[in-house]
Copies of this chain bind each other. A is one copy, B any other.
Amino acid sequence: MTTSLVRGAVLLIGDEVLSGRTQDVNLQAIAKFLAPLGVQLAEARVVSDEVPEIVAALNALRTRYDYVFTTGGIGPTHDDKTADAVAQAFGVVIDVRADARAILEKHYTSGPLNEARLRMARIPDGAVLIDNPVSRAPGFMLGNVFVMAGVPSIMRGMLLGVAPHIKGGKIVEQRIWRGRGLREGDLAEGLQALDEKYAAVSFGSYPWFSAQGHGVHLVARSVEPETLEAASAELAAFMRALGAEPELVREDER
């Protein structure tokens, strides 16, 4: 890692992920959203709906990484504790805020604006609201922390409002090659040689097994586009030398 990389962390908040009831899909969505903005995810954590757990994880992550992205725990029910935890982590007060309340009053169509729904207008002091184009109750940004909903469709909507606040760094580009029939044990030595040759490129090897057969995905990643092209070409030639016909994998059909 060089200092020109901007690094982010994701904090998934929710018993439902830890219990196995819910398959998380937010981590991958956030990672794919951030990559072209020049933010690399460096760590992720999943914690339960307990304020001390959220506070501890948030403080560990926000002091270490450039940005932290949380999902979950900002709804109207008693198990939604994220806003309070964020306020506690930053040592600021939290209360129903007029601008957030106004958004709910103007747009909320899902029922009366009762005490429970007003919980969604409780915003830590100093936070900037993040628009929620899907269900209106806003997320927010406080310092380097972005607080978003846990429902994937709502979270993805909020990411649109996150983007303008992000100051990314160098963009890590990647090339993914599929090598049908290849086995990791046969290519490990040559791949390591490539890894040592190209200091600015990181290489990864990921075996796959399916009904159609088996093989390896070989990945090259770098912030230097020209170096990446050279390394990627050499990687493909290496795969051919092993007897495989390398196929470049599009980012959206991995």
A residues at B contact (CB < 8 Å): 15-25, 27-32, 35, 40-49, 53, 75-79, 110-112, 114-117, 119, 151, 153, 172, 174, 176, 183-189, 191-192, 195, 202-209, 219, 221, 254
Contact = CB atoms under 8 A, between A and B. Distances in A.
A35 B21 CA distance: 11
Complex copy number for this chain: 2
Given A43-B45, A111-B183, A31 B20 contact: yes
A238 B66 CA distance: 45
Contacts of A49: 204
A42 B15 CA distance: 8
Contacts of A77: 184, 187-188, 191-192, 205
A11 to B, nearest CB: 10
A208 B151 contact: yes
A185 B219 contact: no
A127 B203 CA distance: 29
Given A27-B46, A45-B45, A114-B189, A21 B174 contact: yes
A184 B76 contact: yes
Contacts of A184: 75-77, 116
